[in-house]
Amino acid sequence: MIDSDNFISSTKKQFAYYKSLGDKSFAQLSNEDFFTQANQQTNSIAVIVNHMHGNMLSRWTDFLTTDGEKDFRQRDQEFEPNIKTESEMLSKWEEGWAAVTQAIDSLNADNIDTTVYIRNQGHTILEAVQRQLCHYAYHVGQIVYAAKLLKEDGAFKSLSIPKGESKKYNQEKFSKPKSKGHFTDEYLDQK
């Protein structure tokens, strides 16, 4: 049996953590960086955000009652350079994450056992959430990697433990007593 309160709380923190990685990457880039493609086989950050936006709206709108692949979604168009400005990209980023947050906020002990569908395939809430969490982590990883490539050597501020500082980081962690907490707490507190 799943502890619904813990699952929902952890899920909110995990999604917020991945959103924060994108936010912190965006803050280090210039307008033109969002539209740069390494080659024809890669997507710009703006295209990745556009795809995530389409996926988020489709998957999370009426999450508990309708299929996660909505009729309004135009997936193939998500991979076209449709976003033209940084503000448009950031607006889609925020709108997508708001859909995720609203859906997760609707979960509770009474509906956590609901079966939801994505392209007619049934998922438990846990499976659907994990599917999307992994999908977004994959794309946020692409965003972070692209941002690092776009910055000159050493100009990208690390979003986790900086290279060469693992020993120092671990010493600090092990110098404190054992405690219970979510790993994202320290990262989300740094906003």
First to last CA, the chain: 34
pLDDT over 90 for what percent of the chain? 83
Bridge partners for 117 per DSSP: 122
pTM of structure: 0.93
Instruction: Identify the residue with better confidence: 138 or 173.
Output: 138
Q: Which among 44, 12, 52, 46 has a CA at the least distance from the CA of 138?
A: 52
Three-state secondary-structure class, residue 110:
coil
For the ranges 26-30, 66-70, 91-95, 174-178, which has the lowest average pLDDT? 174-178
**Mean pLDDT across the chain, nearest whole number?**
94
Rounded percentage of the chain residues whose pLDDT exceeds 70: 98
Residues 42-84 pLDDT 10s: 999 999 999 999 999 999 999 999 999 999 999 999 999 999 9
pLDDT for 190 = 60
> Domain segments of the chain: what residues?
4-188
- As a CATH number, domain 4-188 is 1.20.120.450
Among 132, 144, 134, CA closest to 22: 144
Q: Which residue has the higher pLDDT, 153 or 120?
A: 120
Question: What is the per-residue pLDDT for 154?
Answer: 75
* Cβ 63 vs Cβ 102: under 8 Å: no
